[in-house]
Amino acid sequence: MPAVYKMLAMDLIDVDEAVSSLSVNTTASLIQPFMYFLSSAFLLGSLALQSVLGRPADKIQVRQSGLDNFIKSESPIAIEQLLCNIGSEGCHAKNVPAGIVIASPDTQDPDYFYTWTRDAALVFKYVVDRFVHQYDAGLQKRIQEYIASQAKLQGVSNPSGSLSDGSGLGEAKFYVNLSPYTGGWGRPQRDGPALRAVAMITYANWLISNGYTSTASDIVWPVIRNDLNYVAQYWTQTGFDLWEEVRGSSFFTTAAQYRALVEGSALAKKLGKPSDAYSSIAPQTLCFLQTYWVSSGKYVDSNINVNDGRTGKDANSILASIHNFDPSIGCDAATFQPCSDKALANHKAVTDTFRTYNINKGIAQGTAVAIGRYIEDVYYNGNPWYLTTLAAAEQLYDAVYVWKQKGSITVTDTSLSFFKDLVSSVSTGTYASDSATYKQIIDAVSAYADGYVSIVAKYVGPNGALAEQFSKSDGKPMSADDLTWSYAAFLSATERRAGIVPPTWANGAPSVPNSCGSSTVAGSYVSATATSFPPSQTPKDGVPTPTDGTPTGEPTPTPTGCTVATEVAVTFEEVVKTEYGDTIKIVGSIAALGSWDTSKAISLSASEYTAQNPLWKTTITLKAGQSFEYKYINIKKDGSLAWERDPNRSYTVPQTCSTEATKSDKWQG
């Protein structure tokens, strides 16, 4: 039997094993999980066939529909869990200050119950992008709380220094109560201030475009200015990379610094603030960014100015490419845009190193595999991460988006090996959108990108949970549970797949200076104290109608003149795996929920329950504005009762014109 068919057969065996171990509530519900696993198995097999035949898979619609189902079920879980990790309303962050992001709810093995400047900034960059794409009052409230929390955090003295000379801004992590972490750590880390500035600049630009320039100038700019001044002063100094292990110069950090200076300079000009320090140093950082490129190997050496014994092939570089994505500048190689020849060649170089993982063995080049940080990794014995696997997908979705906008694809000597893995007959040249080769490449790269998301679907945790890592041996989730960055990575990658892209930032493709400079500007640092945002800063064109993408349970403003509902039909959704004969019920502090009397608890329905999405739900009509506490209970087949763990959940019924609302929860086990 040819190897490709052996792999497909093995996948089908895995399906049989998975189905035999399923425990669901009805016989009928076995059908959907089986079809999901079958489509996943077919997908992996079809992608392998694609690589062998050198053309797109014939069953594109089958591939897409199977993946669409996973994305549809995972997306509400991902945004719910992301928001759960943000204080003070998040279900995992009840006692955390407003706007503070916890990396993970885990407090031991490993303890990630801290706030990292980098993680928080990347998470909120996603939140701001989502908000800019679709106005949401709940997200806006969190964005404002994030900005206020960071204004306070900037002033916290720590082992890296203080705000007086800016050095303290390079501290990587803090306790969630905003006190400094004084234990041993890889410090300083110089990507955090740049990333935080970028997230806030995106919101400041939205404020300006909607007529709230004074808010951007008086409240947001002072926080951004401190971070930009840090970048301008310290960008030439080494620091620890985003994985917190190597002290040197990091490609990811330099890329973030370049973007922050470019965007910061443009924002300063809009606000009438001094910008020369940022605009003069930005080209120097861009010049330095080119020095990471290894032309002989066609890849980015992600850490330089250090002797770490590694090849330098690191997901660091893929993350840098997607976080500096600007669809308006095409396939610019100087900024390592996702579709540039350098970024594509680097994608191949980095992803190919992980084909030695046990779960990747036998998978051909040009077919998606599980991606880790770097192949020499020893943390938890070195495994694939959900966020890096999703980053590999996101870069390809970005590329496809730009190619479709341009109407052409250019293959160079640098990127040829990447393309030949997917379309074996391709050669260097430019292919217009009306050519057969263009269509082949678009289909092949789209399938390749889908393959990475399908790997995440295959190894996703119970109830759609995304941990930090999954085992390179058997794919089981491991390390920190519910990693906030993992959920943000899933959401951004799948939005790129849907053609939703972030705002432009680069102001045209830049020119790299003929020679690199290394000048710095010592800035002044002042604690930002104005952190109270004016109310009702809605879009100038009015509040749009909410879509399915609106985070559930959020009060959503409505246009003036509508009648506010007095009663709301609230649908409670609980994701929990159960056994045959179990019944999930909801009980709470108000009469409609039994006043904590379990004999009066309301039963939920399992009509939409599947192994992939074990959903229980019920709809209860409640008074608008009513606040209460509640919990879910599991009534076992033998009549015994199991409560979910503390704390009690809390909810306030929205007071809007809508007569319907949804509250999505996950069992607190």
Q: pLDDT tens across 65-116, in order?
A: 789 999 999 999 999 999 999 999 999 998 999 999 999 999 999 999 999 9
Does residue 24 have a pLDDT over 90? no
Residue 214's pLDDT band (cuts 50, 70, 90):
very high
Asked if residue 20 belongs to a domain, the reply is: yes
In a 13 Å sphere around the CA of 137, the CA atoms on its Cβ side amount to 19
Residue 44's pLDDT band (cuts 50, 70, 90):
very low
Looking at 42, 68, 94, the residue that finishes a domain is 68
| 173-175 and 114-116 strand pairing | antiparallel
Does residue 626 have a pLDDT over 80? yes
Q: What percent of the chain has pLDDT over 90?
A: 79
Residue 3's pLDDT band (cuts 50, 70, 90):
very low
| 567-575 and 615-623 strand pairing | antiparallel
Helix, strand, or coil (residue 292): helix
Asked if residue 104 belongs to a domain, the reply is: no
Per-residue pLDDT, averaged over 455-473, amounts to 97
185 marked ligand binding residue: yes
Q: What is the DSSP letter of 491?
A: H
Asked if residue 573 belongs to a domain, the reply is: yes
pLDDT by residue (tens digit) across 177-192? 999 999 999 999 999 9
Asked if residue 481 belongs to a domain, the reply is: no
Q: Which residues contact 495 (CB under 8 A, 6 or more apart)?
A: 130
Asked if residue 650 belongs to a domain, the reply is: yes
Per the confidence metrics, is the pTM higher than 0.85? no
Per-residue pLDDT, averaged over 618-627, amounts to 88
Asked if residue 146 belongs to a domain, the reply is: no
- B/e letters for 200-219, b = 16+ CB within 10 Å, e = fewer, are bbbbbbbbbebebeebbbeb
Expressed as residue numbers, the domain containing 36 is: 3-68
Report the CATH number that the domain containing residue 620 is assigned in CATH. Answer: 2.60.40.10
- B/e letters for 552-582, b = 16+ CB within 10 Å, e = fewer, are bbbbbbbeeeeeebeebebebbbbbebeeeb
CA distances for 207 relative to 150, 212, 256, 546, 631, angstroms: 18, 5, 22, 20, 39
Domain count, the chain: 2
Per-residue pLDDT, averaged over 394-423, amounts to 98
| Residues identified as active-site | 241, 244
Asked if residue 404 belongs to a domain, the reply is: no
Looking at 18, 34, 68, the residue that finishes a domain is 68
pLDDT by residue (tens digit) across 235-253? 999 999 999 999 999 999 9
> What's the chain's average pLDDT?
89
Computed on alpha carbons and rounded to an integer, the radius of gyration of the chain in Å comes to 25
- CA 468/CA 149 separation, integer angstroms: 25
Asked if residue 524 belongs to a domain, the reply is: no
Does residue 204 have a pLDDT over 50? yes
Q: Which of 193-207, 355-369, 542-556 has the lowest mean pLDDT?
A: 542-556
Looking at 19, 44, 68, the residue that finishes a domain is 68
